[in-house]
């Protein structure tokens, strides 16, 4: 129990609704005190639970009701510098509802909706993720890339840096789930800011978005062929791009990271940089089947590559949250990448499998893979 709640309960009895109103108006939810986080919910219910997205901890923690009131609370310990997302599960009149925390204004969005956010002592949203009025904005252009491998042209969003010079040649970043990175991780703002500060060189970005990502991104040879044999040549014909592998990077998160790794393996001489975030790098040491039928190609690919690691790129940046189930798989990949003669940087964060967690790693990742003119590399 946190100190604020303890002081409230030590007050005069009975605990009047006005006292609860005043308490919640001052403290809100959750209340963070050191490593203790206390959540509150108010209302009539048979049961209230915390549904958090922290792997390794039971995610249906029961709130306690303050006797004689409609105030509920739950407290647990979380390391400093943590950030995680959650919902509140309310059982009422035989029905169960999953709700954002009405006492917490902090919200994160993803393709499935939105969650409430808890940030503990020591976590701050990076300042370079906010729009900088002094940063000249790059532009976004939607294009249709013809394809022989697909039935229809493929939609791609191109990011072009501010102050684009036709006589200059630029590095290329290809991002899978790119439009999700724009919407949920603020990628355009991050690029504008880092380029403006000379921490990242001006570069071209091709943002792809598969309507069938469970098919395309799950170690699919057709998708990999599209990237190397159709998308890249199309971009090179129309954009002033550098032509060295070291100037090309594939980037993705979750299953998008698998797609990036698989495309690099399919075209080992095309891409010199990889940015892999929370990759769904499923593997088995004992011949288990994949949990999902569409993950079977991923399992086969990762098992085969781990058994015989081949060089995929010159530099690989890998990151994962310690509060997600994939942390073991990502950690296990690091020594194999190093064995295959790649320069590897691995970062762990006290966060889960979510877009803002991936956003928070972008500065370190991008500036290490493509150092800007000022030559800063963030250790």
The helix (run of H) or strand (run of E) holding residue 16 is none
Asked if residue 312 has pLDDT above 60, the reply is: yes
Q: How confident is the model at residue 294 (pLDDT cuts 50, 70, 90)?
A: confident
Q: Where in the chain is the domain with CATH 2.60.40.10?
A: 3-119
pLDDT above 70 coverage of the chain, percent: 94
Asked if residue 195 has pLDDT above 70, the reply is: yes
What integer pLDDT is reported at residue 378 of this predicted model?
45
Asked if residue 58 has pLDDT above 90, the reply is: no
285-314 in b/e burial notation, b at 16+ Cβ within 10 A? eeeeeeeeeebebbbebbeebbeebeebbe
What integer pLDDT is reported at residue 161 of this predicted model?
97
Residues 326-340 have a mean pLDDT of: 95
Asked if residue 46 has pLDDT above 80, the reply is: yes
Q: Where in the chain is the domain with CATH 3.40.50.1820?
A: 127-369
What DSSP assignment string belongs to 80-144?
TT-EEEEEEEEEETTEEEEE--TT---EEEETTEEEEEEE-TT----GGGS--TTSPP-EEEEEE
Residues 278-297 have a mean pLDDT of: 75
The pLDDT tens digits of the residues spanning 213-225 come to 999 999 999 999 9
What integer pLDDT is reported at residue 4 of this predicted model?
67
Rounded to whole angstroms, the Cα distance separating 155 from 286 reads 40
Helices 362-369 and 187-196 pack at an angle, to 10 degrees, of 50
Q: How confident is the model at residue 286 (pLDDT cuts 50, 70, 90)?
A: very low
What topology does CATH give the domain 127-369?
Rossmann fold (3.40.50)
The pLDDT tens digits of the residues spanning 227-237 come to 999 999 999 99
Rounded to whole angstroms, the Cα distance separating 377 from 148 reads 41
The pLDDT tens digits of the residues spanning 227-276 come to 999 999 999 999 999 999 999 999 999 999 999 999 999 999 999 999 99
What integer pLDDT is reported at residue 375 of this predicted model?
63
Asked if residue 285 has pLDDT above 90, the reply is: no
Q: Mean pLDDT over all residues of the chain?
A: 92
Q: Are strands 248-253 and 315-321 parallel, antiparallel or unpaired?
A: unpaired
What integer pLDDT is reported at residue 217 of this predicted model?
97
What integer pLDDT is reported at residue 369 of this predicted model?
98
Instruction: Tell me how many degrees the CA angle 17-22-24 measures, rounded to the nearest 5.
Output: 95
The pLDDT tens digits of the residues spanning 63-108 come to 999 988 999 999 989 999 999 999 999 999 889 999 999 999 999 9
Rounded to whole angstroms, the Cα distance separating 180 from 355 reads 8
Asked if residue 6 has pLDDT above 80, the reply is: no
Asked if residue 157 has pLDDT above 50, the reply is: yes
Q: Which CATH superfamily is domain 3-119 in?
A: Immunoglobulins (2.60.40.10)
Rounded to whole angstroms, the Cα distance separating 295 from 297 reads 6
Instruction: Please return the burial class of 164, using the count of CB atoms within 10 Å of its CB with bins 0-12, 13-18 and 19+.
Output: middle
Asked if residue 379 has pLDDT above 70, the reply is: no
């Amino acid at each position: 129990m946190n100190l604020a709640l303890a002081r409230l309960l030590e007050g005069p009895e009975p605990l009047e609704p006005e006292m609860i109103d005043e308490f919640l108006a001052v403290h809100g939810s959750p209340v963070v005190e050191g490593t203790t986080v206390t959540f509150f919910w108010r209302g009539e219910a048979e049961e209230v639970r915390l549904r958090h997205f922290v792997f390794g901890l039971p995610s249906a923690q029961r709130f306690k009701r303050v006797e004689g009131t409609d105030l509920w609370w739950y407290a647990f310990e979380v390391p400093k510098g943590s950030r995680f997302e959650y919902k509140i599960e309310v059982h009422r009149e035989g029905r169960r509802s999953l709700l954002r925390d009405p006492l917490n204004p902090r919200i994160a969005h993803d393709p499935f909706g939105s969650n409430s956010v808890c940030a503990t002592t020591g976590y701050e949203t990076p300042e370079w993720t906010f729009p900088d009025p002094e940063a000249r904005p790059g532009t976004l252009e939607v294009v249709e890339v013809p394809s022989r491998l697909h039935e229809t042209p493929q939609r791609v969003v191109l990011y072009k840096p501010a102050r684009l010079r036709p006589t200059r040649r630029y590095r290329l970043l290809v991002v899978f789930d790119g439009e999700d990175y724009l919407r949920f991780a603020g990628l355009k703002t991050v690029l504008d800011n880092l380029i403006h500060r000379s921490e990242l060189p001006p570069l071209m970005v091709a943002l792809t978005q598969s309507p069938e990502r469970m098919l395309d991104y799950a170690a699919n040879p057709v998708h990999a062929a599209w990237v190397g044999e159709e998308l890249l040549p199309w971009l090179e014909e129309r954009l002033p791009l550098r032509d060295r592998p070291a100037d090309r990077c594939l980037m993705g998160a979750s299953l998008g990271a698998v797609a990036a790794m698989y495309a690099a393996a399919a075209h080992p001489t095309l891409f010199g940089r990889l940015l892999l975030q929370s990759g769904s790098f499923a593997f088995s040491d004992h011949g288990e089947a994949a949990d999902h039928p569409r993950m079977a190609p991923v399992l086969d690919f990762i098992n085969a590559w781990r058994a015989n690691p081949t060089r995929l790129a010159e530099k690989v940046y890998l990151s994962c949250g310690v509060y997600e189930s994939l942390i073991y798989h990502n950690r296990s990949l690091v020594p194999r990448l190093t064995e295959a003669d790649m320069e590897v940087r691995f970062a762990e964060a006290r966060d889960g499998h979510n877009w803002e967690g991936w956003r928070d790693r972008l500065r370190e990742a991008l500036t290490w893979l493509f150092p800007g003119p000022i030559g800063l590399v963030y250790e």
